Chain A
Amino acid sequence: MAAVIELQGVGKSFGDHTVYQDMHLAVEEGETLTVIGGSGQGKSVCMKMMIGLLFADEGEVRFRGAEVSELDHEGLRALRQKVAMVFQGGALFDSMNIRDNVGYALIEHTSMADEAITARAWECLDMVGLGQDRGLLERMPVSLSGGMRKRVAIARSIALQPEIILYDEPTTGLDPSNIRRIGSMILKLQKELGVTSVVVTHDMPTAFRVSNRIAMLYERHFPFVDTPEGFKHTEVPEVRNFIQGRVRDGA
């Protein structure tokens, strides 16, 4: 298997606060890679570097072999049609209704007719468990609950059928049945469409369920990368403490 996204020797600082130092991580074609790690350690920054919203100070970030920081406008535009990101806070467009939010990439990149865009938006909302009330399409983001906004954000990122999806905490704030549903959706997209996923989550059951590999962020890089089985039976104290701490917190 070839790496789709590859970070090599990456360093990233904000002022004198160093988030990454000599960090290596590779996302393989077709896999689901889960990133875990303490709050404020740089998981969201890592995803933003993958999609060219932030650039590494040192090292290389490659997408299918091309250095992301060297892409021009057209290059980045092409990259972002293939790689979608679900933001941690949802980042829905306040000034647009749900239909225009979910259809945003379709309006931007395709010449689909209005009805086709509405139909596709509806289909995506259904996939994230929001397919009960068609009136939702016309509602504005402010009138939705936090969990609904999160799911609309997921629907928006899958609308254009990207090859790679970066989920930043997709299940935070959802009830157990919707957590299962989002997990199933990630698995289904992988199985049926071969989508590659990177998932940041604090929710270990979901991590164990959907991942092919898990990477743990620790001290500014990813020293522990293993399969879910490997993580469950690990002897490494740092990893064990982290996972068991989470499980206990969640129970």
Chain B
Amino acid sequence: MSNFTESAKNVLASVGGVLTSGFGWVGGICRLLWDATIRGARRPFGIHDIFYHMVSLGVRSLPLATVMSLFVGMVLTWQFGEALIGFGAKNAIGYASSLALVRELVPVILALTVGAKMATGMTAELGSMKVSEQIDAIASLGADPIKKLIWPRLVAATWSLPILAVWGNVLALASGAVIADVVFDVPADYFYETYVDELWPSDYLSGLGKSVVFGLLVGLIGCYQGLTTKYGTEAVGISTTNTVVATSVSILSMDFILTTIFLPVS
């Protein structure tokens, strides 16, 4: 009995510890968003830096985004095709694939892969700047590290992910059409018509809206983890690893929240 209470206490204590650090982490992320907005969104906006980070984040992620989108379009269309054949409704394959791809899979898959890549890149870069005191050095020269380092990365991530998602949607549609045509003998142009016919502007918007939020989340987590890196080089490795876990979990939970918000609308 006392053994049971003892272990129950331990479980409660560790759950409490996890909750406390989890809330602290979320609080830190919110604080960073607040600081970056207050201190970043004023003249000079740092357009040059933002553009630089967009190009480097976007262009460096283009191959990955391309591969992921092609495969997710093919796999999903194939699965839906198999299921629909059972109902003798394989011609509906375009209708079935479009919503799932545009509203859900392209934004989420890209955020989980490309987004995680962006976030870890930011954590590693900012983390090593933190460890080598470069962030302190920026502050010591009278400049604001939040404005100089965080703001351009946040804006760039928030823009890059949706732009990549637009590209990803085109590819997923095209690769889906190839599968429909080659595997299921549904003409590609018919697939395209039904695919587009099923979509309302609100569907595009909810897909894009998700990408924007995911992009912001990716930037925030990547930067926050970098800034809170402890001293020592192995600390950079630790915080980068944590970034992967944090982005995946946050993106999927945020996806659930956004789906419950967006779905009743459309």
Contact = CB atoms under 8 A, between A and B. Distances in A.
Interface of A: 48, 51, 53, 73, 76-78, 80-81, 84-85, 87-89, 91-94, 104-105, 108-109, 156, 160
Interface in B143-157: 143-144
B2 interface: no
B134 interface: yes
B26 interface: no
A4 B218 CA distance: 44
A53 B139 contact: yes
Contacts of A81: 142
Contact of A94 (B134, B141, B143): B134
Contacts of A85: 137, 140
A250 B225 CA distance: 41
Interface string B119-153: 00000000001001110111111111000000000
Nearest to B142: A80
A225 B144 CA distance: 35
B24 to A, nearest CB: 16
A84 B136 CA distance: 12
Contacts of B132: 89, 91, 94
Contact of A105 (B39, B136, B142): B142
Contact of A87 (B129, B136, B142, B143): B136
A114 B95 CA distance: 59
Contacts, number: 51
6 contacts: A73-B39, A88-B133, A91-B133, A91-B136, A94-B134, A108-B143
A53 B141 CA distance: 11
Contacts of B142: 76-78, 80-81, 105, 108-109
Contacts of B136: 48, 53, 87, 91
B61 to A, nearest CB: 19
A89 B129 CA distance: 12
B139 A87 contact: no
A87 B129 CA distance: 13
B137 A87 contact: yes
A78 B143 CA distance: 10
A80 B148 CA distance: 16
B184 to A, nearest CB: 50
Interface string B143-177: 11000000000000000000000000000000000
Given A53-B139, A80-B139, A73 B144 contact: yes
Contacts of B141: 80, 84, 104-105, 108, 156, 160
A89 B140 contact: no
Contacts of B140: 51, 53, 80, 84-85, 87
Contacts of A92: 134, 137
B47 to A, nearest CB: 16
In the A-B complex, list the 3 residue pairs whose CB atoms are closest, starting with the nearest: A80-B142, A91-B137, A91-B133
Nearest to A44: B133
Given A89-B132, A105-B141, 15 more contacts: A53-B136, A73-B144, A80-B140, A80-B142, A88-B133, A91-B137, A92-B134, A93-B134, A93-B137, A94-B134, A104-B141, A104-B143, A108-B141, A108-B142, A156-B141
Contact of B133 (A77, A87, A105, A156): A87
B143 A91 contact: no
Nearest to B144: A73
A92 B137 CA distance: 8
A184 to B, nearest CB: 24
Nearest to B38: A73
A73 B243 CA distance: 29
Contacts of B129: 94
Contacts of A89: 132-133
Nearest to A101: B137
B52 to A, nearest CB: 10
A95 to B, nearest CB: 9
B138 to A, nearest CB: 8
A94 B129 CA distance: 8
A108 B134 CA distance: 16
B169 to A, nearest CB: 33
A84 B133 CA distance: 15
- Report which residue of B132, B137, B138, B141 has the largest number of chain A beta carbons within 10 angstroms of its beta carbon: B141
Nearest to A159: B141
B49 to A, nearest CB: 11
Nearest to A80: B142
